[in-house]
Structure 1
Amino acid sequence: MDLRHLRYFLAVAEEGHFGRAAERLHIVQSALSMQIKSLEEELGGALFVRTSRRVELTEAGELLRAEAQRTLDQASHAQRVVQRSLRGDMGSLRIGFAGNAVFSGRLMADVRAFRSAHPDAEVSLRELAPHLQVEAIQKGQLDLGYAPSHGGQATDSSLLFERIGTWPLVVAMPEDHPLAGQHPLQVPMLGNEPLIVYAAHGADEHMLAALRRVLGREPKVLRTVSTLSVLAFVASGLGVALVPTPLMNMAIPGLIYRTLDDAQPRADLLLISRVDETNGAVRAFLKVARDATAVTAQFQAG
């Protein structure tokens, strides 16, 4: 007994007539009669009493009518639930993020756009260092990550690393620094300055490599553990830092920002996901984020 048999049975029970039921189902009457006969043979007894003018349900048919309607209603409900899940209209997703995602505004914009399109899906956010985001996604503890470029993305084929933003770096320095009056700055001017970098899992190694090429030697480096502590160290007079342009929106007493006359190096923001992702909410979020990236690229190109 399948759902089609139950639909055919209910149509005949509701119409009380094989001809009208066949028209409603858009099949020929003979085919409908054969399907009902097959159902009766499968169940082992008559479901209808046939007269010259109409058909009426037997006692067994009355029982089946209630059960068939309940079964079809449940099947329809299951179909709607699964389709909503596949569209991302329900379910949950867990997103990790690092500082660039917040200061650039990209994370919040993507979450707002997703929740506008899928208001019943649940979104949770967790601040994590880039390498910890990778580990959490690998272990199934996170679904997506927003992180700056770092060395780990080249080594894991199970994850997808998509660049969704890139910005020039600017110099954060104490407001009384001797170079504060220079605008813009040149990278070689920073050669003797202690450089404060974000230490987690080599997240700033690409920037240091670019500085080595420009300076022709190893820069002086002081490492710390978070974006906020980088800025705190700078404002305390412990050194200078190269930070993405969006951080210029971060006003900290005693801290100023100066641009560089060189477009390099730059900071990238990556969206990290699983290559074989099947979660409907996650896939829907990825579409929202990718559409936003495409619109930004078109705007910049125009």
Structure 2
Amino acid sequence: MSETEVAKVQLREHLATLLIPRLAEGFWSIQDSAKQLCERNKQLEETLRTFQNMLTKIPDWSDTTLAEEVERILKVSKCAYMDDLLMGVFLAYMKSFAALHYRGSSSQVRVEFERPNVTKFIHELYKHSARKLWQVAYLFKTAGVPSEQQAKNRQEIEQVIYKTIDDVVRSFLPWEVIAKSYFTEPPAEEKPAPPPASKSVIFEDVPEDEESEEEEKRPRSLSFVEKPEMDEDDKISVTDLDHKAEVEIPEIDLMTELEGKAEGDGLVLNL
């Protein structure tokens, strides 16, 4: 297991330790409310169905109800850094995906991500858990159930809540951005276009004419071939044909082209 995966597991487990028992208490409180309502109406046999109906109302909790529940969870858990811990969990998940699927060459990846606050995350965790617990509502039954079995049922309820954490975290991840940043091939670097050919003068030797004795007596001459036709300002004057023109080629540091990455808004993940 890589270091990134270890960090992801540790952060998730710590978050689960703080939240799962508190959410389980919340669901048991809902079950108690259903039981009390059925007792007042003398319909104890409807306790299970009433509890299931209350679970379906969780997505529609008012802001006041949700705020009170979040305040209770934070107070009981005694965690003053819940917001930072939640941010760490999301970063760990995204870096874990990068370690497995990243196909680029850069050591940093910028991801646009709108992180949910603690209230929104807890509400989403409640909704996912409620859908799962609705199917196994019998685990909350206590009448006529031995204490040993009740203890096992409580553990199973917490396991159901625990299994929803991964789904909730993934539901907030920016999958489209992750796919574009991690899973696609980086664009090929475009080669710079060659510079346009400059106007120049070509010097050519005139071959000897073997059939003419006069040509043998003459020294070899140089003819000037102009290519292409130049303006007055572009003409080159030749002063000494015995010396070759020296052109200094500046040294180019290729590494400077890789420096200076611009940073915009978003998260920068060091891979």
TM-score, structure 2 as length reference: 0.29
Structure (1 or 2) with the greater helix fraction? 2
Structure (1 or 2) with the greater strand fraction? 1
Structure with greater Cα Rg: 2
The higher-RCO structure (CA 8 Å, 6+ apart) is: 2
